[in-house]
Every structure is written in structure tokens, then in C-alpha cells.
Amino acid sequence: MQALGRQILVEFYECDSELLKDKDYIANAMLEACKIGLATIVAHTFHSFSPFGVSGVVVIAESHVAIHTWPEYGYAAVDIFTCGETIEPWKLFHHLKNALKSKHASKMELKRGLFDLGEEKLLHKPLGS
């Protein structure tokens, strides 16, 4: 079986609560993580909630990276969804773990878009795209 993509579901615990409140810090950490992981950034948006918390997404040519923070619990949920073979999603994970000062992380990797093509190689983008 071959997969179109990989999705890493991450829960960061015991993060620095002040950092989790800071929309600009979160945005910069996410964008830097995408660069470190060799992702191609297409667009991004981040939103601060009242009284606190940040949600954001970085759309990448290879799919997306999203975050939702709960500063009151020192917790952040992150979704790293990548397609193709040029991106290094675990580098994104490690950068974000350090940037958020997480003391503990739970992670799970899923294969998305599974196809049994025998010996034929799965193309991540159709020819001519």
C-alpha cells in the first residue's frame, strides 16, 4: 500500500502558558517550523480568542499545519498534514515542541489516501499539474 499523505496528530502538554497566548509568537513559530521542515508556504492566518488562546493554520503546497492553544491548561493541539516526499514533518514537530517549551508530547502518525497500485508508483500530483 502506498499513501498520498502523512498526518501527524500532536498534543503538546506542559507548555509555556504565556507563549500559548501570544498570537504573533505562535504564528512565527509555525512559519519557522514549516521552513525548517522544507514545506512550501502558500498562506497563513491566526486568531486570538478572548480571554486567551490562539488558533491558526499555515496552508502549505503539501497540505496544512494547524494549531489550537489552551493556555489555561498549558496545552496545544497541532495537526501536521503533508503530502509528497519532499517535506520532513517530524522536523516541524521537533521545532514546535521546543518553541512551545512543551515538557511532554503525545503524537500519532496516520497514512492518508492509501492505494494498492502494485509496482506502479503513486503520483502525488497528476502529470501536467
Is 63 known to be catalytic? Answer: yes
Is 124 known to be catalytic? Answer: no
From the list 63, 64, 95, 102, the catalytic residue is 63
pTM: 0.89
Q: How confident is the model at residue 2 (pLDDT cuts 50, 70, 90)?
A: confident
From the list 15, 34, 64, 83, the catalytic residue is 83
pLDDT at 117: 81
From the list 44, 55, 68, 124, the catalytic residue is 68
User: CA-to-CA distance for 79 and 56, rounded, in angstroms?
Assistant: 11
Digit-coded pLDDT (tens) for 22-59: 999 999 999 999 999 999 999 999 999 999 999 999 99
Is 95 known to be catalytic? Answer: no
* Cα end-to-end distance, the chain, whole Å: 24
pLDDT at 126: 53
**Does the domain formed by 2-113 have CATH 3.60.90.10?**
yes
pLDDT at 84: 81
pLDDT at 124: 66
User: CA-to-CA distance for 97 and 89, rounded, in angstroms?
Assistant: 13
Q: Domain ranges for the chain, please list them.
A: 2-113
Digit-coded pLDDT (tens) for 10-24: 999 999 999 999 999
Digit-coded pLDDT (tens) for 78-98: 999 998 888 889 999 999 999
User: How many DSSP H helices and E strands does the chain contain?
Assistant: 3, 6
